Structure 1
Amino acid sequence: MRTLLLIIAFQFLIIDGFTQQNKFVLKGTITDTLYHLGKVVLIYKDSTDRFKFDTAITTNGKFSFKGELPIVSRMQLTVHAEPNLSLSKRNKQIEIYFAIENCDAEVTISKFNDYTIRGSNCYNDLLSFNNALNPLFKKHKGSELIQRQNALVDSFIMAKPSSYVSLLLMYERISNATYLGELNQWFNKLPENFQKASIGLNMQKKLKKLKEIAPGQLAPNFTMPDLHGNMVSLYDYKGKYVFIHFWGSWCSPCRQENVNLVNANLSKNNENLIFIGVSVDESKTDLENAILKDKITWTQLTSFKGFTQTAMLEFGVKGVPRNFLIDPNGKIIAMDLRGSELLEKLIGLVQ
């Protein structure tokens, strides 16, 4: 399959409890003679939910793997050229990424990202989806492209809710979501056995977190150190409006938002509006340089542990910029405000 375009980032996902067959056989053929005496490495998650690294030696371009999946797994297959070639040729390798269920499948590989798989329903559905997806990249850009992609995903899930691909698409949508919206309704369109599978349970956890941080909900408390080592809790500021900005020194949109807030001069002489920055930086020097350059004067919290810090976990932050506006009662009243919309909201609170 040439240039398989996935809107799903490659991840090792497993789905269990859906079919009778609990083993897979993957037979392969490599047409390029450069790899006819090479080595093949297959990485996937096995039935114990552990990464499995299998190797096979090609014989006249043929190889075979077998194993046991919970039901379906994403896989990475790497083909290395025969070891007795010159160094420049030996460094050449083919990598392909795909997903199959427990089945008897055959893969034919020509070169990088040029392959076909027979015998897998998951592969067939993914091929069908991408045949519809690929033309969108040629016809549309920006927000229009995103809207078209989302519409395609919606229509695919509606048409094939029992497809493994629908489950993967739903997982991608929920994993990248920053607000709840209609995700619960879409999740409920999946078959019950998908919802109760391990990947379905993971999605339910994310949906629960999105509900907890939605506007109208009580903001979760957290305690983190500031740059001077003082411990600061969010609930220390109850009775005031609190604007929390999750950011990083390397994030251009984050830095621009800092500049906008500094220029608006909203953080000074406004006792009822508190600004808190939570940095995902792991380097103190990088953070301090950014604070100095952006002329930030409000409190900055960090333990220099990236996205594993307490505040990130409590608010489900997996990317920046993110922000939350909290009212004096501790409830979230807005989130992910940007540019003029953000400034207008904050100015309205201090006037």
Structure 2
Amino acid sequence: MFKNLIEMKKSFLWLLATAPLAVCAQTKPYTLTGELKNIKEAPSKVFLWYAVDGKPVTDSATVTAGKYAFKGDAAQPVNATLILGAGNPRTAEAKNTATVFLEAGALKAISIDSFSNITVKGGAANTAYDQLKKEQKPVSDQMQALMGEYRAAYEAKNEEKLKTIEARYDSLDELSKAGYESFLKKNPTTPIALYVIRNWMPYDIDVEKLDPIFNKLPEATKSSASGKALQAKLEVAKKTSIGKEAPDFTMNDTLGNPVKLSSLRGKYVLLDFWASWCGPCRRENPNVVKAFNEYKDKGFTVLGVSLDQPTGKEKWLKAIHDDGLTWTHLSDLQFWNNAAAKEYGVQAIPQNFLIDPQGKIAGKNLRGEDLEKKLAELIKG
């Protein structure tokens, strides 16, 4: 689980860098000057990543005598990622990345000892982000330390230690999410609200918690491109929340035959979104196999939906065979544009929905022992 979280966090940095942001004709100029202090062997370049309408934008600046500068235009605060010495946030080390909000006016960034230890002065968004970091620091420091412990235990193949670290990390992750929720409740009109929400609920939206907070956001925030994108995701989450009827769809199986989700009515169905290229999915597959074998004769089945790419059919079929996945599998081989994934608001995998015999959603994201516990609770005898 912890290794999965590390992978997901690295992917999430990329998602934040490329998330849709507001665009407005009335932009104003900004300047961002940066200074590096006590950073040994600092590279000669700093890269800047952000997005406009979901399309990534990158810029670079040369470091001269420990200083660098960027300039541009922004209509309202734009969440961006600074990377020291590397142009890709996916591959950069955490110590070499930093978050900044590009907003009108003069911004000054100072990094001390490490690039990520950055303070940005200027603008309401950067002031709010600085406050958020201070509130989250006790938890984030512990999480960062645990990552180091986890790597050491993983290399030593100490399974007991790994399990202990995973449990501690999960507890800290819940504290971190509670901190984001508390920040939003205290600051409903904060200019970094959408950034906080993406950190609080990066993949799976809790409608009951998010809906009242979203409704309190300023109209300008809700009507921005990012706000509208979040609202669309919220509406999908409402349609796929527990107790709602599962949206029906038809998709081809491995032989090209169309299969309709509703054709499985009368059974408990685990609608399982995965892909052959997804490491966390492949590591979760043995748990799904175990649950399937335990309950397949008691009114339970699995319907796999793969987010493999257009050229990935052979890899998809091989993964099914290698992992012993003996249930029905569907895919349109459209990667993240998979029609069923979009219908269910899937933004990360593995993700699943447990559907009851009447076609209503009875559970979500049930992994490991949680899936078997839920099935034991629902399926009598």
Length-normalised TM-score, structure 1: 0.77
Equivalent pair of 1:133/1:149 in contact (CA under 8 Å): yes
Q: In the aligned structure 2, how far is the partner of 1:310 from the partner of 1:297?
A: 23
Correspondence list, 1:88-99, <5 A: 96-99=98-101
1:210 positional shift: 0.3
Q: Does 1:344 align with 2:370?
A: no
Q: In the aligned structure 1, how far is the partner of 2:377 from the partner of 2:229?
A: 35
2:287 is aligned to: 257
- Cα–Cα, structure 1 residues 240 and 34, in superposed 2: closer, same or farther, change >3 Å? closer
Letter of the 2:73 partner, please give it.
Answer: E
Residue in structure 2 matching 1:217, options 239, 244, 251:
244
Residue in structure 2 matching 1:317, options 322, 325, 346:
346
Task: Give CA deviations for 1:171-201 in whole Å, capped at 9, x if unaligned.
Answer: 3334422542321012123223222222111
Specify the SS of the correspondent of 2:79: strand
Specify the SS of the correspondent of 1:26: strand
- Cα–Cα, structure 1 residues 45 and 102, in superposed 2: closer, same or farther, change >3 Å? farther
Q: In the aligned structure 2, how far is the partner of 1:335 from the partner of 1:52?
A: 35
Q: Does 1:161 align with 2:188?
A: yes
1:207 positional shift: 0.6
Q: In the aligned structure 2, how far is the partner of 1:138 from the partner of 1:40?
A: 25
Q: Percent identity?
A: 28
Q: In the aligned structure 1, how far is the partner of 2:131 from the partner of 2:236?
A: 33
Gaps of 5+ in 1: 1-5, 82-92
Which stretch of the first structure deviates more once superposed, 213-222 or 106-115?
106-115
1:116 positional shift: 3.1
1:121 is aligned to: 124
2:107 is aligned to: 105
Q: In the aligned structure 2, how far is the partner of 1:32 from the partner of 1:228?
A: 61
1:51 positional shift: 4.5
Structure number with higher helix proportion: 2
Q: Does 1:70 align with 2:75?
A: yes
Q: Does 1:176 align with 2:178?
A: no
Specify the SS of the correspondent of 1:176: coil
1:214 positional shift: 1.4
Letter of the 2:34 partner, please give it.
Answer: G
- Cα–Cα, structure 1 residues 63 and 137, in superposed 2: closer, same or farther, change >3 Å? closer
Q: Does 1:133 align with 2:136?
A: yes
Length-normalised TM-score, structure 2: 0.71
1:80 positional shift: 5.5
Specify the SS of the correspondent of 1:127: helix
Q: In the aligned structure 2, how far is the partner of 1:310 from the partner of 1:227?
A: 16
Which stretch of the first structure deviates more once superposed, 283-292 or 145-154?
283-292
Larger radius of gyration: 1
- Cα–Cα, structure 1 residues 284 and 221, in superposed 2: closer, same or farther, change >3 Å? same
Which stretch of the first structure deviates more once superposed, 22-31 or 222-231?
22-31
- Cα–Cα, structure 1 residues 130 and 267, in superposed 2: closer, same or farther, change >3 Å? same
1:237 positional shift: 3.3
1:212 positional shift: 0.7
Cα-Cα RMSD: 3.6
Equivalent pair of 1:16/1:72 in contact (CA under 8 Å): no
- Cα–Cα, structure 1 residues 164 and 233, in superposed 2: closer, same or farther, change >3 Å? same
1:112 positional shift: 2.9
Specify the SS of the correspondent of 1:194: helix
1:63 positional shift: 4.4
Letter of the 2:175 partner, please give it.
Answer: R
Gaps of 5+ in 2: 1-8, 87-94, 144-167
Equivalent pair of 2:177/2:200 in contact (CA under 8 Å): no
1:205 positional shift: 0.6
Equivalent pair of 2:79/2:100 in contact (CA under 8 Å): yes
Q: Does 1:280 align with 2:307?
A: yes
Q: In the aligned structure 1, how far is the partner of 2:244 from the partner of 2:296?
A: 25
Task: Give CA deviations for 1:10-31 in whole Å, capped at 9, x if unaligned.
Answer: 52353467xx972212233455
Letter of the 2:287 partner, please give it.
Answer: E
Equivalent pair of 2:268/2:301 in contact (CA under 8 Å): yes
Equivalent pair of 2:274/2:349 in contact (CA under 8 Å): yes
